[in-house]
């Protein structure tokens, strides 16, 4: 490997918003920076950083009639992360159809260029969230760590992102209902009849694939759908995010390992933004 490639391996930064459920070891890695969103529940603002208290947040959500909300980072929050000397900057955000974080990162990139910034900067709309963002970020690290040129990394990761799938099953649909993503009737029927939809994302928007009665049946069906659709799983990282339900995450892992082989499996408890949407008991898969 030539000296330029070695230098490229060192001089890159991956900036993610806090919708990204990064494993702890990557949060502590020098190549990563997490930009927090702000969550609001019951009139209280909560910064989605390392101080986030999941149990306290879930309690506040249960006790509050109003819908919890999130506020995206400001462009200035991103802008200050673009200025490391001679560093390629890769940014991964929540789906642009779920949050204004992607637009803030783009505005910051325009500001940086207008100010004469010299670094390469690329913003990836994850078209996903939580472990979906994390799997994309890990793909960037893999490519940049191999010494790929900036444009090569962007192309490789964009292709990866476009073929990545996100699936999820939630214990409760209340947050989606309060956010206007489900009708009241759908949410009421789901709660009364124990209907658990298997959901996915298409072009960054939430879609329902199927529905079952009971959470375990829904998790099992989600895993069947993953196995039916995944290609070359042995070359991919499986990301699993769970909200306060590690046993369900392990159950999903065991079901998938009966059907597929993976390069690696990463299980992460949800940070603030994903906790807000997944709610207590939710499980998300990205591959």
pLDDT (mean) for 79-100: 95
* Residue 115 predicted with pLDDT over 90: yes
Three-class DSSP labels, 180-203: CCCCHHHHHHHHHHCEEEEEEEEC
Three-point CA angle 267, 273, 277, nearest 5°: 85
Report the percent of the chain where pLDDT is more than 90: 80
State which CATH number among 3.90.550.10, 3.30.70.370, 3.30.1180.10, 3.30.1950.10 fits the domain covering 166-286: 3.30.1180.10
* Residue owning tokens 């090569």: 152
- Residue 184, pLDDT score: 47
- Could you tell me the residue ranges of all domains in the chain? 3-37+72-163, 166-286
The lowest-confidence range among 86-90, 167-171, 208-212 is 208-212
pLDDT tens digit sequence for 173-225 = 766 666 655 554 454 455 555 789 899 988 888 888 998 989 999 999 999 99
Quick check: 90 and 15 in contact, CB under 8 A? yes
The reported pLDDT for the residue numbered 251 is 98
Which pLDDT does position 1 carry in this prediction? 44
Residues 6+ apart with CB under 8 A from 49: 18, 34, 36
Closest Cα to residue 89, out of 61, 109, 59?
Answer: 109
**Tokens standing for residue 97:** 């159809």
Angle between helices 246-257 and 215-229 (to 10 degrees): 40
The answer regarding whether domain 3-37+72-163 maps to CATH 4.10.95.10 reads no
pLDDT of residue 180: 58
Would you state the structure tokens that stand for residue 127, as one six-digit string?
């078209």
pTM over 0.85: yes
Cα angle, residue 50 at apex, residues 45 and 52 outer, rounded to 5°: 40
pLDDT for 171: 87
Q: Is the pLDDT of residue 243 over 60?
A: yes
**Identical fold at 3-37+72-163 and 166-286?**
no
> Which of 156, 120, 119 lies closest to 138 in space, CA to CA?
156
Question: What per-residue confidence (pLDDT) applies to 208?
Answer: 85
The pLDDT of 3-27, averaged and rounded, is 81
Lowest mean pLDDT among 13-22, 29-38, 56-65, 165-174: 165-174
């Amino acid at each position: 490997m030539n000296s330029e490639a070695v230098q490229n391996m060192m001089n890159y930064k991956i900036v993610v918003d806090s919708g990204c459920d990064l494993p702890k070891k990557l949060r502590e890695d020098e190549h990563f920076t997490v930009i927090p969103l702000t969550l609001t529940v019951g009139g209280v603002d909560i910064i989605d950083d390392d101080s986030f208290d999941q149990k306290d947040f879930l309690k506040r959500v249960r006790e509050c009639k109003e819908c919890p909300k999130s506020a995206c980072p400001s462009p200035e929050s991103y802008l200050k992360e673009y200025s490391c000397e001679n560093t390629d900057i890769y940014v991964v955000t929540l789906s642009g159809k779920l949050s204004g974080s992607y637009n803030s990162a783009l505005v910051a990139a325009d500001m940086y260029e207008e100010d004469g910034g010299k670094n390469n900067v690329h913003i990836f709309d994850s078209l996903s969230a939580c472990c979906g963002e994390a799997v994309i970020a890990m793909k960037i690290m893999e490519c940049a760590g191999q010494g790929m040129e900036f444009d090569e990394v962007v192309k490789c990761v964009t292709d990866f992102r476009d073929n990545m799938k996100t699936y999820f099953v939630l214990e409760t649909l209340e947050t989606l209902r309060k956010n206007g993503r489900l009708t009241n009737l759908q949410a009421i029927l789901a709660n009364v009849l124990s209907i658990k939809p298997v959901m996915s994302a298409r072009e960054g928007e939430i879609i329902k694939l199927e529905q079952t009665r009971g959470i375990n049946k829904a998790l099992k069906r989600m895993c069947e759908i993953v196995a039916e659709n995944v290609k070359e799983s042995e070359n991919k990282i499986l990301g699993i995010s769970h909200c306060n339900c590690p046993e369900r995450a392990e159950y999903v892992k065991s079901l998938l390992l009966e059907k597929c082989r993976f390069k690696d499996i990463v299980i992460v408890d949800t940070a603030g933004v994903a906790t807000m949407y997944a709610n207590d008991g939710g499980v998300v898969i990205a591959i």
